[in-house]
Structure 1
Amino acid sequence: MASVKNLKKEINYVLGDLVNIVYIWEMTNGGKPTEGTDVLVDEIYDNYDNFVSRIRDRKVENKKAHYKQIRAEYETVANQIVAKINELK
């Protein structure tokens, strides 16, 4: 498994890019945030905070399984957010 440092970087880069995509979408569709985009950005930030706090948790027994579960959940959440971005109108 890749290092924890790389997992943190990947989460940071991907979720950060998703926030940028939402802002770019806003700029190309009127230039003002909508209620849907605000909720989506808040969801991205909440997920980021959740993943980073779970990565920093040092009280886990099986670290390898813990990080593997975080990666699986992160990939699922990222795909769900991409689907929500594609549904923006």
Structure 2
Amino acid sequence: MANRRDLKKDINYVLGDIIEEVYVRGLENPDKDSKKGEAIIDEAIATFDDLMERVNKRGIENASKHFKQIRTDLEDKGNALLEKVNKL
């Protein structure tokens, strides 16, 4: 169970930090369009919901492989979102 708990924390921290960074950039540059930032936040929330749903799925045959794939997806999606934040 520690694996599942740690994975949930990682998802929360990574996506929460991305959302926080969007807000910080919005405060630093109030003259820029906030629609792009809102879209990134919406995408981060959708990613959070998707990953948490997958983490909480029961009846997995190969749990190790399942959680490893979720970690890989978190890293990929997190990096993609950070690239979008950096372009703001």
Residues 55 and 26 of structure 1: is their aligned pair in 2 closer, same or farther, counting only changes over 3 Å? same
Give the unaligned 5+ runs of structure 2: none
State the secondary structure of the residue aligned to 1:3: helix
Question: Normalising by structure 2, what TM-score?
Answer: 0.92
* Count of residue pairs the alignment pairs up: 87
Give the aligned partner of residue 77 of structure 1.
Answer: 77
The whole-number CA distance in structure 1 between the counterparts of 2:86 and 2:32 is: 18
What amino acid sits opposite 2:82 in the alignment? V
Which stretches of structure 1, 4 residues or longer, exceed 3 Å deviation after superposition? Answer: none
- The 2-side partners of 1:48 and 1:81 are apart by 12
Cα RMSD (Å): 1.5
Letter in 2 for 1:57: K
Structure 1 stretch displaced more, 44-53 or 28-37: 28-37
CA distance, structure 2, for counterparts of residue 65 and residue 45 of structure 1: 24
Tell me the secondary structure at the aligned position of residue 59 of structure 2.
coil
